[in-house]
Amino acid sequence: MEISKEEEEPKIVVVDVKMDAESKEMLTWALVKVAKAGDRVVALHVIPSSSSLHLPRSRSTVQRNYQRIARISQ
């Protein structure tokens, strides 16, 4: 039995991100060009446990911005 495009199962799209312009562009591209309504986009950012970086404010700002883009894209 073939699945029509209307019946496609939701995808999970994983994007490796850093806090830089190139990653921002790649995540935006994934949200606009790859993900469809109902898909899940996972932005994966790994920080080594030994890292002294503190990014909670930056992370939450980025997350809010991409949630807006995702809502607009659907």
Hey, is 39 helix, strand or coil? coil
Instruction: Say what the pLDDT of residue 30 is.
Output: 92
**Overall pTM surpassing 0.75 (yes/no):** no
Look up residue 5 and give its DSSP letter: G
Do residues 19 and 47 make contact, with C-beta atoms less than 8 angstroms apart? no
Q: Quick check: 17 pLDDT over 90? A: no
The residue behind tokens 């996972």 is 42
Q: What is the pLDDT of residues 34-69, one digit of tens each?
A: 999 899 999 888 777 665 555 555 667 777 777 777
The token duo for 61 is 């700002």
Beta bridge partners of 43: 15
CA-CA distance, 72 to 61, in Å (whole number)?
A: 17
Q: Residue range 16-30: average pLDDT?
A: 87
